[in-house]
Amino acid sequence: MSDVFQIAGKTYQSRLIVGTGKYKDFQETRAAVDESGAEIVTVAIRRVNLGQDTSQPSLLEALPPSQYTYLPNTAGCYNSEDAVRTLRLARELLDGHKLVKLEVLGDPNTLYPNVRETLKAAEILIADGFDVMVYTSDDPIIAKELEQIGCCAIMPLASLIGSGMGIINPWNLRLIIDSAKVPVLIDAGVGTASDAAIAMELGCDGILMNTAIAGARDPIRMARAMKLAVQAGRDAFLAGRVPRKLYSADPSSPVTGMIAAAK
Amino acid sequence: MIQISINGEAKTFPASLSITDLVLALDLLGKRIAIERNGEIVAKSQYPATWLADGDVLEMVVAVGGG
């Protein structure tokens, strides 16, 4: 059964994208990524720690860019200028790599996106040749604008980053999914496997998560749970669920051929 | 001597220092880094030919774990 998932013209088998933050070491990061089946991994761009022992292994050694598709992000950026600078540095760092995750935050407590700055940065990056996967609010109008200016994937939050609160507003997500002509991925808020399945059952094309796996008591097992949940949710979406019957039942067993009713 | 700012830290180096010399001095040779000098990205191929001047502001970055 072919069910192609493409981002910016490239085909992926896995609809799960995972972050690489919050793990206890690179070994655990690598094990969780591999168990999740993810082909795309997000990374952050940060200053070189000048005092640090440079013989220590780096993330790029633990997850070789030849084996995984890197998705550098702009986490921590609060304006379009910083986000654009960060991703230009990422492109240089990763030898001209074009696929990026844009997020411009508006508030340090909620990490809610600043959509005005996000739109501004997206326009600059797209004009500069980047393939922009964009983190945004679940506002369908903003999602449409981001699509129209050329973002290659729209990534609305399901709930706040790292909150694990799950799918807070499935109706808005459906509005975005139903009208989008580019992939829609849920980015942020997934807490456990059922959240991932619910998101996929809504019809979203994929999910990006970090904390739900890295913060679990057993991240490797949760990585596997998420892989299976994303697959199960996708299959359920494609299979088409039965309609909900609010006030009546529908027996699964034959209603005829019953033995004689007791007197 | 010249003073340059690297990732917000003021550092003093002997004059006539290329970015390649700096990378070597910081023991970062062969590491995957990217460098911005006074707001402009310096391509890796330009490191040997880029000479640092007093007052330059550098940002040197790496990829780290993140979501």
What is the tens place of the pLDDT at every residue in B8-40? 999 999 888 999 999 999 988 888 999 999 999
Least confident range from A58-67, A75-84, B47-56: namely: A58-67
Residues in CB range of A74: below 8 A, 6 or more apart: A45, A82, A83, A86, A87, A100, A101, A102, A103, A104, A121
- Whether A175 has its CB under 8 Å from any CB of chain B: the answer is no
**Whether A101 is catalytic:** yes
Give this prediction's pTM.
Answer: 0.92
pLDDT band per the 50, 70, 90 thresholds, residue A102: very high
Which residues of chain A have a CB within 8 Å of the CB of B23? none
- pLDDT of amino acid A143: 97
Q: Specify the 3-state DSSP secondary structure of A130.
A: coil
With tokens 């807490």, the residue in question is A191
Among candidate residues A153, A219, A163, the one with its CA nearest the CA of residue A186: A153
CA–CA–CA angle A22, A25, A31 (5° rounding)? 90
Label residues A227-240 b or e (16+ Cβ within 10 Å = b).
bbbbbbbbeebeee
Predicted interface score ipTM higher than 0.90: yes
What rounded mean pLDDT belongs to chain B?
Answer: 93
Q: How confident is the model at residue A263 (pLDDT cuts 50, 70, 90)?
A: confident
Nearest CA in chain B to A135: B67
Q: How many Å apart are CA A236 and CA A218, to the nearest integer?
A: 26
Asked whether residue A53 carries a pLDDT value surpassing 80, the answer given is no
Inspect the interface and report whether the beta carbons of A23 and B31 lie closer than 8 Å: no
Look up residue A232 and give its two tokens: 């199960």
What angle (nearest 5°) sits at the alpha carbon of residue B36, between those of residues A88 and A96?
35
A1 band by pLDDT with thresholds 50, 70 and 90: low
How many Å is the maximal CA-CA distance in chain B?
41
Question: What distance in Å separates the CA atoms of residue A61 and residue A67, rounded to the nearest whole number?
Answer: 11
Q: How far off is chain B from A144, nearest CA to CA, in Å?
A: 24
Residue B46: CB atoms within 10 Å = 14
